[in-house]
Amino acid sequence: MSNTAIKVQNLVKNFGKGDSLVRVIENASFEIQKGEIVALIAPSGAGKTTLLMMIGCVLEPTSGEIWLGEERVYGNKWVAKDTRKIRREKIGFIFQAHYLIPFLNIIENVTLLPQANGVSEKISKEKAMELLKYLEIDDKAYNMSSQLSGGQNQRVAIARALANNPQIILADEPTAALDGERSVSVIKMLKKIAREQNVAIITVTHDDRILPYCDKIMKIENRTIVFQDSDERII
Ligand SMILES: Nc1ncnc2c1ncn2[C@@H]1O[C@H](COP(=O)(O)OP(=O)(O)OP(=O)(O)O)[C@@H](O)[C@H]1O
Ligand SMILES: [Mg+2]
């Protein structure tokens, strides 16, 4: 079994046509291994969210190829018949805002998707409690999101992203709403998940403080992907 979690080849993404054509990604090729946490940095509008959404099978590329694990999901068209199934089974998303549902308590937020996917209430709750413990937020399981701090809510959002045992986590500025200390604690948590659960994580960030915790730094430069070695890595 290969250790590659994400493989992208000659990926191109344009929006629009003719005079309104916007070229976002021109010819991107890269691989990310299982157990790796990679920071994605680039100026606003460079295409970070666009890239994550293509890898996450949410947004259709213009051309190129994408493999998730052993499965080629895109090859100049969607190869995967059911992209929703791929998302549900392989990918966990974390966004800048936590998007927890305000009228459900924490454990209900974490069990919502697994239950919608047919996991029983009992099993999904056991798994959710395990995740909340892992993220050190289990004491809030029966609180509402509004009773939690920003950092606590973001840890719940991470628990929710992990609820379907994803092989890949795509995080779009997960620490943007947090102060420095809480950002570092969230990124340490993501790193622990990458290492212990062999998950590949791409996290978009504008926060230099979290870069030392990442294994690699990926940039979008001249509409393509380049890697920069993180010089001071914290293992
Ligand atoms: N649906 C769309 N239609 C047309 N253009 C789009 C669409 N979505 C994104 N774009 C354009 O693609 C480019 C990349 O957008 P994207 O949201 O990926 O940038 P980003 O790097 O995530 O920026 P930010 O740091 O501000 O979140 C931008 O020029 C944007 O205007
Ligand atoms: Mg963005």
119-129: pLDDT as tens digits? 999 999 999 99
Q: CB within 8 A of 155, min separation 6: which ones?
A: 135, 136, 137, 186, 189
Average pLDDT of span 83-112: 93
Q: What is the pLDDT confidence band of residue 231, given thresholds at 50, 70 and 90?
A: low
Atom of ligand 1 nearest to the CA of 46: 21
Mean pLDDT calculated for residue range 32-50: 97
Atom of ligand 1 nearest to the CA of 50: 18
Question: Domains, the chain, ranges and CATH?
Answer: 35-60+83-228 (3.40.50.300)
Q: Which residues contact 49 (CB under 8 A, 6 or more apart)?
A: 172, 204
pLDDT of 181:
82
- 20 Cβ inside 6 Å of ligand 1: no
Could you read off the pLDDT of 127-170 as tens digits, one per residue?
Answer: 999 999 988 899 999 999 999 998 899 999 999 999 988 999 99
- Supply the pTM of this predicted model: 0.92
User: How confident is the prediction for the chain on average, in pLDDT?
Assistant: 92
Looking at residue 142, what DSSP letter applies?
Answer: T
Please state, in angstroms and as integers, the Cα–Cα distance from residue 89 to each residue in 57, 85, 162, following that order: 12, 6, 11
